[in-house]
């Protein structure tokens, strides 16, 4: 951190965009639930996605606060507000939380969700359950990598990720971090959580695929000498998509939703750069552009075979 801060002092970094300047869309949410056989994803912002899986409502990494910080007056502040208010969510059945960093595990959001959706099942990595329980959640399952559980009719498998955990200088790596593979009635979704590029993406696809939707992080990657061990850059995210789909060449390729960009200024790259680089790499590889979803904030899209 000290080296990074010294380096930044001599750099002319791209300015942070004006508040709420990224494109938005009106969420097309089914209330209270989607019809059987209909599967949609709505990008709320950062790594928060509402999945409506044929009558089941699933939320990933709920982050609705204005700062990714333990303080309300200091720390990374949202550049883009949540595209769907927490109060506007449909009844939630399952909430998955990938790790304990402040931009993914937000205590005020968890506390409000517990009050509004007391029957929701929470699925978290090892040793994170107690922190969720302290906020009032009752139905909590902890998973190690490759462990699975059934939650409200959803098959949830914790998948490997290359990252770390910490909320203070004293608790580094005391709890696990992970992604999640989700399956319901033959429809499969992969949520990578927060991760650097790693060699297990192919194994995730082999064990848990073929997927209909893949959600991969594309932002918060510069400077690479520092971030390459915790965050993918856009080109690595496209490589991860290739790895995840490689073992199922006979099935149609899934939709890829790019997440973890445009919401918080966490690192040095221009905030609008990740989708441009991801699209350039996608085109260079000759992939179908309809399968790369650079969502507007709040945009809903159907997926699945």
In a domain, 261, yes or no: yes
* Residue pLDDT, tens place only, 236-291: 999 999 999 999 999 999 999 999 999 999 999 999 999 999 999 999 999 999 99
**Rounded-to-integer distance, Cα 258 and Cα 295, Å:** 7
In a domain, 144, yes or no: yes
Tell me what pLDDT residue 4 has: 86
Phi/psi-derived region of residue 132, left when phi > 0, alpha when psi is between -120 and 50, beta in every other case: alpha
* 112 close to 177: Cβ distance less than 8 angstroms: no
In a domain, 48, yes or no: no
Whether the link from the prior residue into 17 is cis, omega within 30° of 0, is no
Query: Does 141 have pLDDT greater than 80?
Result: yes
In a domain, 35, yes or no: no
In a domain, 64, yes or no: no
The CATH number covering residue 252 comes to 3.60.15.10
- What is the overall mean pLDDT for the chain? 96
Domain that holds residue 158: 96-293
The full DSSP string for the chain is -HHHHHHHHT--PPPPPPTT-S-B------SS-PPTT-EEEEEEETTEEEEEESS-EEEES---SSBSSSSSSSS-BBSS--SS-GGGPPPPSEEE-----TTT--HHHHHHHHHH-TT-EEEEETT-HHHHHTTT---EEEE-TT-EEEETTEEEEEE--B----SSTT-TTSS---EEEEEETTEEEEE--S-B--TTHHHHHHHH---SEEEEE-----SHHHHTTT---HHHHHHHHHHHHGGGTTSPPPEEEEES-SSB--SSS-TTHHHHHHHHHHHHTT--GGGEE-PPBT-EEE---
In a domain, 28, yes or no: no
Tell me what pLDDT residue 134 has: 97
Question: Per-residue pLDDT averaged across 184-192, rounded?
Answer: 97
Query: Alpha carbon of 86 to those of 54, 59, 161, 304: distances in Å?
Result: 21, 11, 27, 26
In a domain, 225, yes or no: yes
Residue with tokens 């709420």: 20
Tell me what pLDDT residue 12 has: 84
- Which token pair is 184? 């319901």
* 59 close to 114: Cβ distance less than 8 angstroms: no
* 23 close to 10: Cβ distance less than 8 angstroms: no
Pairing of strands 39-45, 292-293: unpaired
Tell me what pLDDT residue 66 has: 97
Tell me what pLDDT residue 10 has: 74
* 91 close to 118: Cβ distance less than 8 angstroms: no
Q: Looking at the 3D structure of the chain, how many domains does it have?
A: 1
Query: Does 131 have pLDDT greater than 90?
Result: yes
In a domain, 5, yes or no: no
Query: Does 88 have pLDDT greater than 90?
Result: yes
Strand partners, 143: 125
Asked whether the CA dihedral 95, 92, 46, 38 is positive or negative, the reply is: positive
Tell me what pLDDT residue 73 has: 85
Query: Does 70 have pLDDT greater than 90?
Result: no
Tell me what pLDDT residue 38 has: 96
How far is Cα of residue 115 from the mean position of the Cα atoms in its chain?
Answer: 23
Q: Does pTM top 0.95 for this prediction? A: yes
Tell me what pLDDT residue 126 has: 98
């Amino acid at each position: 951190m000290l080296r990074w801060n010294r380096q930044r002092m001599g750099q002319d970094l791209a300015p942070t965009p004006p508040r709420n300047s990224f494109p938005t869309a009106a969420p097309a949410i089914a209330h209270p639930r989607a019809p059987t056989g209909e599967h949609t994803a709505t990008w709320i912002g950062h790594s928060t996605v509402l999945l409506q899986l044929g009558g089941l409502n699933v939320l990933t990494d709920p982050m609705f606060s204005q700062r990714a910080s333990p303080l309300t007056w200091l720390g990374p502040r949202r550049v883009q507000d949540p595209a769907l208010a927490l109060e506007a969510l449909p009844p939630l059945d399952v909430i998955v939380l990938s790790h304990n960093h402040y931009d993914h595990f937000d205590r005020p959001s968890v506390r409000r969700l517990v009050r509004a959706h007391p029957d929701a099942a929470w699925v978290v990595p090892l040793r994170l359950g107690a922190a969720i329980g302290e906020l009032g959640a009752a139905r909590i399952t902890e998973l190690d990598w490759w462990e699975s559980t059934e939650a409200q009719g959803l098959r949830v498998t914790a998948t490997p990720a290359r990252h770390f955990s910490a909320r203070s200088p004293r608790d580094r790596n005391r709890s696990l971090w992970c992604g999640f593979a989700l399956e319901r009635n033959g429809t499969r979704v992969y949520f990578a959580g927060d991760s650097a590029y790693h060699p297990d993406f192919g194994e995730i696809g082999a064990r848990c695929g073929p997927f209909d939707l893949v959600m991969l992080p594309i932002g918060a990657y510069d400077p690479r000498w520092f971030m390459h061990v915790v965050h993918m850059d856009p080109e690595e995210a496209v490589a991860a998509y290739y790895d995840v789909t490689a073992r199922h060449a006979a099935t149609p390729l899934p939709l890829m939703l790019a997440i973890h960009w445009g919401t918080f200024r966490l690192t040095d790259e221009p905030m609008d750069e990740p989708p441009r680089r991801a699209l350039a790499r996608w085109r260079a590889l000759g992939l179908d552009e309809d399968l790369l979803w650079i969502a507007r904030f709040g945009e809903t899209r159907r997926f699945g075979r």
